[in-house]
Amino acid sequence: MSTRSRAVPSPAVERVRALLARVDAVEPQVQAWVVLDRAALLRQAEAADAAPPAGPLHGVPVGLKDIIDTADLPTQNGTVLHAGRQPSVDALLVQRLKHAGALVMGKTVTTELATYAPGPTRNPHHPAHTPGGSSSGSAAAVAAGMVPLAVGTQTNGSVLRPASFCGVVGFKPSAGRIPRDGVLEQSPSFDCVGVFANSVEEAALLAAVLADEAVPDLAPLSPALAWFDGIAWDRVAPDAQAACRAWQHAQGLPAVALPTGCDTAIEQHRVVMEAEIGQAFAALDRTQLSASLQGQIERGLRTASADLQQGRDAALALRAAFSLWFDEHGLDALAMPAALGTAPAGLASTGDPVMCTLASFAGLPAISLPLLSGANGLPLGVQLIGRFGDDRRLLRAAAALLSQAR
């Protein structure tokens, strides 16, 4: 079955009504949506059915993280400080979605200003567990079957981690591939638009539309992969370690050492991210922000300019080092855990993003695939990281692995 036949329902009104029925059934428990205008959505679907196909996403509903500006729906950025905020124009990526024929399903829950303080969303697989963040609602809405595709963002682990926790495909392209015009700026060195779907092909289709590129041909590939335990393997839950090690051995993946600079990436990422968060949010009323975000802003504003520049330089140097590393090892992608384990119990935290930081710091394309599960039965993603700028090769490797598993 082609990517388009999987992604494009016909007619649109019929698909939208089925999705809205699914929303009625599961949204009271999952709480993935901030705004969902049913009447406006049905009008979009009716218009799609009355018109010739407009593009590769004609009639396909897409959820948008609530830090992405929409001219016809509020964009409130997960903070009371922006309650009722109504942009006057669509973000560039929303314009591209509409040009491709997509329907804006609604706005999905984000954590506070896309940082760490959680929203109300629950994991569709177990409502007592977090869905991850900061793209909580986007991942959960796709996992719960309320929308086939959704857009999120990642600055540290905000696409890959919730994809892993919710058991869907989460794809973060190479840095800069998808424009961020009209998207909340948090840390411009690392902010990246990403996507959620139920297949690699659909994720690739959505990302291509957002990047205004031709849909990539994911021709069959027998991927050359290697395995890395991750910067924080000693913190990975024992059942996740066992699942990862069994998968590594089943795939016959050799373990590899990474380029110089990976060992300091976690701390350097934090320094740059918090310094830029401090700059971005310094003017906000901090008494209305979480203690977590207040701390990030305060630490960020104390960061010396020399330390900030050193971190930015190190990120670019590591990106270049990885390009040489991929050449030397002849690999299509590097495999590693997408998270420290399955979704943690409780809703006070969205989980630790440390396993996703390496790709975010170096701006490398990365994808989380729902290939494993923990002892508790909850999903656990395998992360693949690719060479900067070679997103297609990463996606081909990911598609082959997921097809093999299914």
Of residues 134, 164, 360, 368, which has the active-site annotation? 134
Of residues 158, 187, 199, 368, which has the active-site annotation? 158
Q: Helix, strand, or coil here: 309?
A: helix
Phi, psi of 53 (to 5 degrees): -50, 130
CA dist 233 to 158, 253, 266, 344, Å?
A: 20, 17, 14, 17
Q: Which amino acid is at 277?
A: I
CB atoms within 10 A of CB 88: 6
The DSSP-derived string for 59-83 is: T-EEEEETTB--SSS---TTSGGGT
Catalytic site residue 65? yes
Catalytic site residue 158? yes
Q: Return the sign of the alpha-carbon dihedral for residues 279, 280, 284, 290.
A: negative
- Length reported for the chain: 406
107, two tokens: 């706005």
Cis (ω within 30 of 0) for the bond into 344? no
Catalytic site residue 134? yes
- Tell which residue, 309, 33, 52, has the closest CA to residue 146: 33
- Catalytic positions are 65, 134, 158
